[in-house]
Amino acid sequence: MVGGLPTQVQRRLRFSGVPLRLLIPNVVTLVALCAGLTAIRFTVEGLLQWAVMAIAAAAVLDGLDGRIARALKGTSRFGAELDSLADFIDFGVAPAIILYFSGLKQLGGLGWLVCLVFAIACALRLARFNVMLDDPDAPAWTKGFFVGMPAPAGAVVGLLPVYISVLGAAPSSGVGDGWAGLEAAYVLGVALLMASRVPHFSGKSIGRVPREYVAAALIGVVAALLSIAYFPLQALVALAAFYLGSIPFAIRRFKQLEAGQRREAAPSSA
């Protein structure tokens, strides 16, 4: 007997193996974390294009780790906590540093304050997401929506001014020409969307593709991959614009479903 437990039990607890299906999603999450930290390094070295590509890679990996965990039945509380911590670095801290060094630095302390607000909004968004996971009373249709802009989308969309600057489509950064001020206002708007309760479409609700649309879906995926490979920044600009354009449709659809739920509940409450 050692510490109140038999020696054999202690050895079993100490050397009990962890299933591989639990490790694989966490490894993907750690690779995503490495991509976010590498984005910070690229930013400090002035390699902004590589920095934003590292954030995009982290966003892709973030979308994969959850799907892999569900497919392998390897979800765990540890994995969820690790994912949140990695997301804060990848989509809160790293993008804020990129935004500061790419243009907001021209505003001095005000630019840094905008970056702090962005990172804080990301932290609040992730904390609220973790809390809402434990809500058993949420209607089934709400699974098709995110409450507030998700952190990966906030990073990809929030870096839109950086894409434009790297492509040379923006005026030279500076306080006088107003570009830095517009960038600050835009970043604050994205931060507000992350911290707000505005509904956004959830990619997690995408299931199987109907058989008649398989060919079109494959062509679309290949075209998207080729666009990202040959025109990465232009593809990110298009993706950010598309996502921003989808927000009004998500709000309208959410209100329609909410109104339908209220109509269904009205007779029973009468």
- The answer as to whether 263 is a domain residue is no
pLDDT (0 to 100) of residue 176: 46
Q: Indicate if the pLDDT at residue 270 is higher than 50.
A: no
Q: Tell me the C-alpha distance between 250 and 160, whole Å.
A: 21
Question: Which of 5-19, 103-117, 123-137 is predicted most confidently?
Answer: 103-117
DSSP type of residue 5 = B
How are the residues of the chain apportioned to helix, strand and coil, as percentages rounded to the nearest 5?
Answer: 80, 5, 20
43 lies in a domain?
A: yes
Number of domains into which the chain is organized: 1
Structure tokens at 60: 């892709």
Residue 240's nearest CA partner among 33, 52, 41 is 52
Residue 173 has a pLDDT of: 46
Give the phi and the psi of residue 17 in degrees, each rounded to 5: -80, 155
Does 10 fall in a domain? Answer: no
Kindly state whether residue 200 falls inside one of the protein's structural domains: yes
pLDDT at 62 over 70: yes
With respect to residue 237, please indicate whether it lies within any of the assigned structural domains. Answer: yes
Q: How do residues 149-188 score in pLDDT, each as one tens digit?
A: 999 999 999 999 999 988 887 665 444 457 788 999 999 9
Q: pLDDT tens across 228-240, in order?
A: 778 889 999 999 9
Long-range CB pairs of 56-59 (<8 Å, 24+ gap) are 56/156, 56/232, 56/236, 57/32, 58/32, 58/33, 58/90, 58/91, 58/94, 58/152, 58/155, 59/90, 59/91, 59/152, 59/153, 59/155, 59/156
Give the CATH number, domain containing residue 102.
Answer: 1.20.120.1760
Mean pLDDT of the chain: 82
**Is the model's pLDDT at 57 over the cut of 80?**
yes
Residue 146's H or E segment, with its range, is strand 145-147
pLDDT band at 206 (very low <50, low <70, confident <90, very high): low
Q: What is the pLDDT of residue 15?
A: 46
Closest of 147, 48, 30 to residue 94, by C-alpha: 48
| Residue 2 forms part of a structural domain | no
Q: 211 pLDDT exceeds 80?
A: no
Domain boundaries, position 93: 18-133+142-255
- pLDDT value at 207 more than 60: no
CA gap 62, 181 in Å, rounded: 31
Q: Where are the alpha helices (DSSP H) in 16-108?
A: 20-44, 48-71, 77-88, 94-102
Q: Sign of torsion, CA 90 95 100 101?
A: positive
Please write down the HEC assignment for all residues of 87-114: HHHHHHHHHHHHHHHHCHHHHCHHHHHH
3 state DSSP class of 68: helix
Residue 155 in any domain: the answer is yes
Q: Is residue 124 part of a domain?
A: yes
More confident residue, 118 or 229: 118
Which amino acid, one-letter code, is at 161? Answer: P
For residues 69-93, average pLDDT: 86
